[in-house]
Amino acid sequence: TVIQVVNAANNAADTVTINRAELRVNNAELRVEGINSRTGNGSFAPSVEIHNGAAVGNTCPGALIATTAVSAADGTWRFRGNVNITVTTVCVKSAGGGVASSSVNQR
């Protein structure tokens, strides 16, 4: 007797949560921080892309601002850098497929 168990690949997208989105107007420093859930295979995606503008469906069509690493330990990520554009909304897309948008606080 042969018993074969076939497990379909779990391609579920992760969930992206943006905890902070802030533009320091005096020095044009953008700060974006958040956390990702685990992907379908139980690990965290390696990176997120931060784009200017809001999400459209499951995409971030705006200009790419930065790509930043996701912590393999807890799924957190953080970007801090100077930008030469006015950013009022950011879209974050995970390499794991998750997408989130947030308005940017001007400080």
- Range of lowest pLDDT (6-15, 28-37, 76-85, 88-97): 6-15
Domains identified in the chain, total number:
1
Q: What letter represents residue 35's amino acid? A: I
Strands ordered across the beta sheet of 76-82: 76-82, 29-36, 16-24, 105-106
Look at residue 3 and tell me if it is in a domain: no
In a domain, 10, yes or no: no
In whole angstroms, how far apart are CA 83 and each of 3, 14, 72, 99, 106? 58, 27, 27, 21, 13
Question: So what's the pLDDT on residue 4?
Answer: 56
The answer to whether residue 11 sits within a structural domain is no
Structure confidence at residue 7 (pLDDT): 47
Q: Does 41 reside within a domain?
A: yes
pTM of the full structure: 0.88
* pLDDT confidence bin for 12, thresholds 50/70/90: confident
Report the sign of the C-alpha dihedral through residues 50, 55, 60, 63, in that order.
negative
CATH code where residue 33 lies: 2.60.40
Q: Is 28 left (phi over 0), alpha (psi -120 to 50) or beta?
A: left
Of 45, 33, 36, residue with least CA distance to 102: 33
Has residue 1 been placed in a domain?
A: no
Q: Which domain holds residue 50?
A: 16-106
